[in-house]
Each structure stands twice: as structure tokens, then as C-alpha cells.
Amino acid sequence: MPVFKVPGPIGVNVSGSMGLGGDPFAVNGIHQAPSCGSNGGCDPYHATQPHHMAHKQSPLDAPEWDGVVNICYDVKGKQFGELMMSLRDSAISYAQDRRAELSRWDEMSKARTKSWFNSSSDEIRDYLLPIMDSVIRVLKSLTPQNFEYDTQENRMGSGCLPGQGLVLTGVLAAVCPTDIVSHRITINMGFFEVPKMGYSYGRTDFGQKDSQLLTLIHEVTHFYDVASSTDSFNGVFNASQNVSNAKAKMNADSLAAYILGID
């Protein structure tokens, strides 16, 4: 049976000596354990062991969800399905734009990869090209049936541990990265508290705040058959401050911001 070493649990509330979130690897109470590293210094996870969900966590404090699902939060309703298909189509268009840029590999294309991954080398182009193809492939496969409530039952159904589901404050959406057949995306209450596109006020270019469009792309990159992305730097602004870090090219918000062409 193959054994894989993967980063530690994502999306686990932990209490440390400094209280909830006091752990040095915790942000807003969400724990990202350090990876095992090349020296094998921690126990590997077996392929048969359920994984933790990878989720989009808002870097801002979000109000507590009161447990009552408003009718406008009907994830299985027709209007929500239409919303997600509209977001899907927009995401495909932006990913195709980045794919075309990488194929041209002109100065503008190199400047964009430099701004998000601190590299304009052929290596970063060769790294990103198959990711763009995979993002486009998975996005095109999505239908309204791919979206579910972020409940413990649905998390387990996608192959991951239950976690806290809808009561996890500040979470927008989540996926089980190993769910590479069904590509289910679970929607949490925070998703309804961010704008659809995330344009800057009065303009048609993107700001650095969370949006539903950014969240969709972010989640798709987490799948193991897309980019196996991580949440090392949560939030677009945080990602923009860490472009020189080697983890940037695997960071979900860095990849999503790059795809959307955020400056």
C-alpha cells in the first residue's frame, strides 16, 4: 500500500497555551500544521486515512452564524445554481486568458508571473501551464450538483474528516482535495457575505478582498488533480506580501489572484 507524506491537518480549531489560535501555526483559530519536510520528521498519513478539508478562510473576522439557514442561502435552489454557473463561466474565461498568456510568453506574461511568484523563468511557465489546463478542465465539468452545504455529513461524503462544518466561523467554502472524481465543493455561510466578482468600487478591475469568484477558483486549485494547492498565505493581500516565498506558487490565493489578473 503506498504511503504519502502530505502537509498537516488543514482547518482544525486548536487550543494552545495562548488559547484558541494561540498555536504558532494558527491563524484566526484555523490550524495549519507544518509539513513533514524532507527529513521525514513527522509521521506520514496513509493513503487510506481520511484527509482534512482544504477551505477558503476569510482573513477578516466574520459574524457568527446563528444556525438558521436563510431562504436566500438555498444552495440547492435554481438561483444559486445559476449564480455558480455564471461564476464558473467567468472563471473559465480568466483561466483561458492566463493560458493564452503563458503560450505567448511575452513581456506582459512574464511580468504577471513575476508579480505573483517572483519568477519569469521558463520553469514557472512550465509549472503553470498544466495547472491552467487542469483548472479549465475541472471548471468546465462543474454543474449545480457539484455544490453542497458545508456540513459534516457532506464533508465525510466527499472523503474527508467531518470537521465543524457550517459552524466554522469565517469559512467561505471547502473541498476535500482527494475528491478528484466528483469534485464536490461545499459552501459555507461566509460565501454569502462576500461580493460576487470583487471589483474595485466603480471599476471593473479586481481589488484584493475576497469574492465568490476568487473563492471558486481558490477551491478548484486545491484538488489533487489540479494544483494540490495549500493555504500558506490566506487572503490576496497576504499572498501579495509573500511572493518571494517558495510556497507562493502552491498557494491557493496566489494562484487564484494570478488567474484573475489581480495587480
Q: Which sequence spans correspond to the domains of the chain?
A: 78-260
Q: Chain centroid to CA 198: how far? A: 16
Helix, coil or strand: residue 22: coil
Q: How confident is the model at residue 32 (pLDDT cuts 50, 70, 90)?
A: very low
Q: Which residue has the higher pLDDT, 42 or 124?
A: 124
Could you give the CA distance from residue 223 to residue 111 in angstroms, rounded to a whole number? 27
Check if the beta carbon of residue 256 is closer than 8 Å to that of residue 94: no
- Sequence length of the chain is 263
Q: How confident is the model at residue 188 (pLDDT cuts 50, 70, 90)?
A: very high
Looking at residue 72, its pLDDT comes to: 56
Mean pLDDT check: name the lowest of 19-28, 44-53, 183-192: 19-28
φ and ψ of 149, to 5 deg: -65, 145
Model confidence at 234: pLDDT above 70 = yes
Residues of the chain above pLDDT 90, percent:
57
Looking at residue 21, its pLDDT comes to: 36
How far separated are the first and last CA of the chain, in Å rounded? 45
φ and ψ of 51, to 5 deg: -90, 165
Q: Which CATH architecture best describes the domain 78-260? A: 3-Layer(aba) Sandwich (3.40)
What is the overall mean pLDDT for the chain? 78
Looking at residue 113, its pLDDT comes to: 98
Number of H helices, E strands in the chain: 7, 11
Q: What is the dihedral of CA 139, 227, 31, 42, to 10 degrees?
A: 150
Tell which residue, 109, 93, 57, 52, has the closest CA to residue 239.
57
Q: Report how far apart, in Å, the C-alpha atoms of 32 and of each of 2, 29, 172, 230 are.
A: 24, 10, 17, 9
What single-letter DSSP state applies at residue 28? T
Mean pLDDT value of segment 232-236: 95
Check if the beta carbon of residue 54 is closer than 8 Å to that of residue 222: yes
Rg, Å, the chain Cα set: 18
Model confidence at 61: pLDDT above 70 = no
